Amino acid sequence: MKTAKHIKTLNQANLKESAVKGGCGECQASCQSACKTSCTVANQKCEK
Amino acid sequence: MIHKYKLGGYNICLDVHSGAVHVLDDIAYDILDFCDESMTEKCPEEIVSGLVGKYDRDEIEETYSDLYSLKENGQLFSPDDYEQFSDMMTKAPIKSMCINISHDCNLRCEYCFAAKGDFGQGRCLMSLETAKKAIDFIIANSGTRHNLEVDFFGGEPLMNFEVVKQTIEYARSIEKKYNKNFRFTITTNGLLLDDEKTEYINREMNNAVLSLDGRKEVNDRLRITPNGKGCYDIIVPKYQKLVAGRGDKDYYIRGTFTKYNLDFTEDVLHFKELGFDQLSIEPVVSDPNLDYSIKYEDLPRVFEEYERLAQTIIESRKKGEYFNFFHFMIDLNQGPCAIKRLRGCGCGNEYVAVTPQGDIYPCHQFVGHEEYRMGNLHDGTFNTDMKLEFAKANVYSKDNCKNCWAKFYCSGGCNANNYQYEGDIRKSHKTSCELEKKRLECAIMIKAALAESGDETQCDGEDCISSCI
């Protein structure tokens, strides 16, 4: 966690970097894990 | 684009296109009301004059400077430049399959989206011949994908368990030849679990999804046998035995909440009391005219309950107690890549469902909707035009998604919900959207709270240092 006086940033903000390196498609389909009736993609694990 | 909100005593700002999450003090939060993508280095006089009664000038300028630094570092008002990856968001190999091994069920749950087990197509079981063709189909259409996911689903898959076992045996016998690695999941209501099946599931299934709605009175109101009796007393001891022998393999206790239990935090806590720690409970998907359905006007009450659940989780974690709630899981650093987030759930493109008759659908929720039948395993048909239509149904082709702050987290939502309740796979189901956004706000707030308390890295779950909450 990066801390400044007025702002604490919780993460590395690497979404754009992940786009360049991503797309291998080896991760789980979102519906296969525990939902089956809704879609939450961001809680899936990356396989890399 | 940013999304800023107050929750749980925190001022939170999500920078949508970089994924950065900032926790702000009041002055920084207020200054953001005056800022957008056009921020310049010097603090504009209108911000000072707008806030000088509330904060002093030096503090306003200092805070503005911190915010401007974030913008310069690509962590605030970062541009949407994902269009360059649009070609990666289209057609892809099929890597996941839902095998409806049984279109029969030994429960008659009131809210079942599968028409109480048969998807409106008559009660039947899948033959081994059809199941083998399903395995052959996914191998043939998986391209270079190594990991292939297969979920045995229904209806109730334990009603056809011999075929489940023979299908796994078949897949294992050929996976090395094709350089594939099958991962199996079973979704069960638990009624037919016995020691032998439990041992088999714990040995062979990477994931087991165990249906239970929570407290006995909640579960037994809607999850009933054909003679109208509740199933809680039968299935809970079976689940406890299965989970005790699960080792490090995944499982979820998976519940549905309805209008009847909008206090569903109590059901999550009940799961925990029963000894379960991998938990999922989600809103019923149903016709809004039904008594138990979650309607748009119920949202304020559901939001209140999600906030209560989030606070409960924070308090538990601070006491060193761990349980994982699937719909609050979020990994702010090592989550799925942006390409996956833009592709969405993958239904009809990377993911299909097959029925006992060998019919292929975009996913299990489309089964029975004839206009979305993509083909058949026996006659070898497969509608690649429809596959492409689903491939293109990503966040940038959905009007309500492309400018939504949550687009990288829900990734366009559930196409089946969109189709069933809005009439178009590209038209967002508004109630589902609002629920998803609330869950995300809670999930991020939990991260903020645990980061502040220093508990963020105390999770004892595998692979959980940054991913679970």
Instruction: Decide if A9 and B250 are in contact by the 8 Å CB cutoff.
Output: no
Residue B457 has pLDDT above 60, yes or no: no
Question: Per the CB < 8 Å rule, is B280 touching A4?
Answer: no
CB-closest option in A23, A32, A37 to B151 = A32
Indicate the SS3 state at residue B363: coil
Q: Is B330 on the interface with A (CB under 8 A)?
A: yes
Instruction: Tell me, yes or no, if B410 comes closer than 8 A to chain A by beta carbon.
Output: yes
Q: What's the rounded mean pLDDT across residues B347-358?
A: 96
From the list A10, A23, A30, which residue is nearest B88 (CB)? A23
Task: Report whether pLDDT(B468) > 70.
Answer: no
- Closest chain A residue by Cα to residue B152: A32
Other CB atoms closer than 10 Å to residue B60's CB: what's the count? 23
In chain B, what residues touch A39 (CB-CB under 8 Å)? 344-345, 410-414, 436
Report the residue from B254, B347, B451 with minimal CB separation from A10: B451
Q: Is the pLDDT of residue B180 over 90?
A: yes
pLDDT in tens, B43-101: 999 999 999 999 999 999 999 999 999 999 999 999 998 877 766 667 789 999 999 99
d(CA A37, CA B97): 15
The shortest C-alpha distance from B334 to chain A (Å) reads 7
Chain CA centroid to CA A12, Å? 12
Percentage of the residues of chain B whose pLDDT score is greater than 70: 96
**Percentages of chain B per state (helix, strand, coil), in multiples of 5:** 45, 15, 40
Q: Do B96 and A40 touch (CB under 8 A)?
A: no
Please, what is the Cα angle at A36 between A33 and A42, to 5 degrees? 55
The position carrying tokens 């890597």 is: B95
Model confidence pLDDT, tens digit, residues B252-304: 999 999 999 999 999 999 999 999 999 999 999 888 899 999 999 999 999 99
First to last CA, chain B: 26
Q: Which two tokens stand for residue B209?
A: 């999804």
Summary mean pLDDT of chain B: 93
pLDDT of residue B463: 35
Q: In 3D, which of B155, B141, B63 has the Cα closest to residue B101?
A: B155
Interface confidence, given as ipTM, is 0.89
pLDDT (0 to 100) of residue B87: 67
B74, burial (CB in 10 Å: exposed 0-12, middle 13-18, buried 19+):
middle
> Which is nearest to B10 in space by CA: B333, B410, B447, B319?
B447
What pLDDT shows up at residue B305? 98
The stretch B127-146 carries a mean pLDDT of: 97
- Mean pLDDT across the stretch A17-25? 83
> Cα-flanking dihedrals φ and ψ of residue B371, to 5°?
-65, -15
B21/B112: higher pLDDT? B21
Mean pLDDT of B416-427: 93
Cβ distance B254 to A29 less than 8 Å, yes or no, reads no
Nearest by CB to residue B410, choosing from A26, A33, A39, is A39
Q: How confident is the model at residue B458 (pLDDT cuts 50, 70, 90)?
A: very low
- In this complex, the residue of B67, B153, B333 whose CB is nearest that of residue A14 is B333
DSSP string, B80-110: --GGGGGGGGS-----EEEEE-EE--S---T
Residues within 8 A of A (CB atoms), B 368-407 only: none
State whether A15 and B338 contact (CB < 8 Å).
Answer: yes
Under an 8 A CB cutoff, do A29 and B351 touch?
Answer: yes
According to the model, what pLDDT value does residue A21 have?
Answer: 79
pLDDT of residue B343: 80
CB contact under 8 A, A30 and B345: yes
The pLDDT of residue B461 is 36
